């Protein structure tokens, strides 16, 4: 006779076996999901990098074709063909992918387009796997449209090369050709930006879905494990909560990184393209005084690029550095920041006052300096050139236990609708050619690291006051 205890034990053993198999199956699914998450995001990165090369090749090709039409120098024609081979290589890859050609043929197209050899296999897999899904249909359509525009550019180039080989072009022919090149380049730029934007948006949507799946399977696995180890329930719950928070942080970091890398690539390239254009124009300028004007413009672009790079360095220093709280002389920090900024040309035209009523505070000195430097340099940078009595004042007071730092100026001011936007990454106002869009973003990040708050009051053509309130650490 089988006892009830034996029956219960067998039933319990079967349940444990089922739970183990379920946990094992969930673990395998989780590994698979994470593998494909990494693979897809890696392939998306490869396509975004490819778009950057595609864009550079197309813009360089337009530049060299314009120069060839103007100067009839075969060296420029050679450079045009070399540059246009990048987008043409991508076109060859796309056409052969649609046709189901051999991987080696497709790979030659991608390699001709300067894609990294290690990325090619993943790019082929991603295209073939997702080409008929919502994920890739729109980017592929944009890619196809851009390719047709590049074909038109090549046809125009060949027509011009044939004409130039037979006779000099008239001024009207040159102007019409350049106009057509500029029109094609403008539309191509829109397509290139749209491709990266759409692909980034789709990848973020997939990342969100995969994150939900990750969290779901993790919860299932943790739930299965609690069947075996009841005594570890509290620890498992805590681990699950922390893991969920980390996943959300990673998703937010991924979104921020997408925006940062895309904007950074274009913001770094734009001044370089402008400098190249100015150098080319300067070469054609017969008047030495005219060349000096171009050099002044180039110098201004280099200064702006230098400021941008410095702010990128501050951005990463803030991201990577942990808090180091110690006693800091606030008056000394204010003096250092003012001295570091007061010898610029704009600062020499301003009265800078200090009203620091606090001696020392407990704070992270590096982040405190970055906060003050951003506030003071911004006040100087956006001083009002139409005013003769320009000034800024740095105040520091202890109010209700908090350290309140204010920087006030009588500069150009900020529109009220931009009060919140000015702290967004890469935001600049429509008429702003002085900022990089990173300074106030870094300022806000530093203040948040110190558990502080920021407030802005400003009036256009009157001035601005930015207040930072820091709690006692």
DSSP 2-31: --HHHHHHHHHHHHHHHHHHHHHHHHHHHH
At 137, list the tokens. Answer: 């249909």
Contacts 24+ apart (CB under 8 A), 248-251: 248/211, 251/207, 251/208, 251/211
At 65, list the tokens. Answer: 């074709």
Pairing state of beta strands 390-399 and 350-356? Answer: parallel
- Residue 246 pLDDT: 78
CA distances from 20 to 9, 17, 227, 256, 351 (A): 16, 5, 10, 39, 74
- Residue 304 pLDDT: 54
- Stretches in the chain below the pLDDT threshold 50: 1-7, 259-260, 262-267, 270
H or E segment to which residue 424 belongs = none
- Residue 464 pLDDT: 93
End-to-end CA distance of the chain: 73
Bridge partner list, 356: 396
- Residue 417 pLDDT: 86
- Residue 2 pLDDT: 42
Bridge partner list, 408: 393, 465
- Residue 16 pLDDT: 57
pLDDT, averaged across the chain: 80
3-state percent helix, strand, coil for the chain, nearest multiple of 5: 75, 10, 15
- Residue 265 pLDDT: 47
- Residue 398 pLDDT: 92
- Residue 453 pLDDT: 93
- Residue 259 pLDDT: 45
Q: Are 106 and 99 in contact (CB under 8 A)?
A: no
Q: For the chain, what percent of residues have pLDDT higher than 90? A: 23
Q: How many CA atoms lie within 13 A of 274 on its CB side?
A: 17
Q: Name which of 419, 417, 351 is nearest 380 in CA terms.
A: 351
Phi, psi of 390 (to 5 degrees): -80, 140
Is 392 exposed, middle or buried (CB count within 10 Å of its CB: 0-12, 13-18, 19+)? buried
């Amino acid at each position: 006779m089988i006892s009830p205890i034996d029956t219960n034990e067998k039933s319990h053993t079967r349940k444990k076996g089922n739970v183990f198999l379920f946990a094992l199956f969930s673990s395998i699914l989780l590994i698979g999901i994470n593998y494909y998450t990494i693979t897809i995001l890696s392939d998306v990165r490869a396509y975004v990098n490819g778009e950057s090369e595609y864009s550079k090749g197309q813009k360089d090709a337009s530049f060299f074709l314009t120069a060839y039409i103007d100067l009839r120098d075969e060296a420029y024609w050679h450079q045009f063909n070399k540059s246009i081979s990048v987008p043409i290589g991508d076109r060859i890859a796309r056409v052969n992918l649609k046709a189901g050609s051999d991987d080696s043929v497709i790979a030659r197209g991608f390699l001709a387009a300067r894609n990294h050899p290690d990325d090619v296999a993943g790019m082929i897999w991603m295209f073939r796997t997702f080409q008929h899904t919502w994920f890739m249909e729109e980017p592929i359509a944009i890619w196809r449209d851009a390719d047709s525009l590049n074909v038109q550019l090549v046809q125009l180039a060949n027509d011009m090369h044939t004409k130039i080989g037979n006779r000099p072009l008239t001024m009207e022919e040159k102007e019409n050709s350049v106009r057509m090149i500029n029109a094609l380049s403008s539309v191509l730029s829109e397509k290139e930006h749209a491709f990266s934007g759409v692909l980034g948006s789709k990848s973020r949507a997939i990342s969100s879905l995969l994150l939900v799946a990750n969290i779901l399977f993790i919860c299932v696995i943790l739930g299965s494990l609690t069947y075996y180890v009841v005594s570890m329930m509290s620890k498992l719950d805590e681990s699950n909560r922390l893991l969920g928070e980390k996943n959300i942080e990673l998703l937010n970091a991924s979104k921020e990184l997408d925006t940062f890398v895309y904007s950074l690539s274009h913001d770094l390239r734009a001044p370089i393209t402008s400098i190249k254009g100015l150098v080319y124009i300067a070469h054609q300028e017969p008047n030495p005084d005219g060349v000096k004007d171009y050099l002044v413009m180039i110098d201004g672009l280099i200064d702006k690029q230098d400021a941008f790079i410095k702010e990128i360095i501050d951005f990463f220093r803030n991201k990577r550095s942990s808090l180091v709280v110690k006693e800091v002389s606030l008056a000394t920090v204010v003096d250092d920041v003012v001295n570091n900024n007061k010898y610029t040309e704009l600062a020499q035209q301003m009265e800078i006052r200090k009203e620091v009523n606090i001696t020392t505070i407990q704070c992270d000195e590096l982040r405190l300096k970055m906060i003050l430097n951003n506030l003071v340099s911004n006040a100087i940078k956006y001083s009002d050139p139409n005013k003769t009595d320009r000034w800024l004042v740095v105040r520091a007071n202890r109010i209700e236990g908090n350290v309140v730092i204010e920087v006030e100026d009588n500069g150009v001011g900020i529109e009220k609708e931009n009060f919140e936007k000015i702290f967004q990454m890469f935001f600049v106002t429509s008429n702003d050619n002085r900022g990089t869009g990173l300074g106030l973003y870094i300022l806000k990040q530093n203040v948040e690291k110190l558990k502080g708050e920021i407030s802005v009051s400003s009036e256009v053509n009157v001035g601005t006051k930015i207040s930072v309130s820091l709690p006692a650490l």
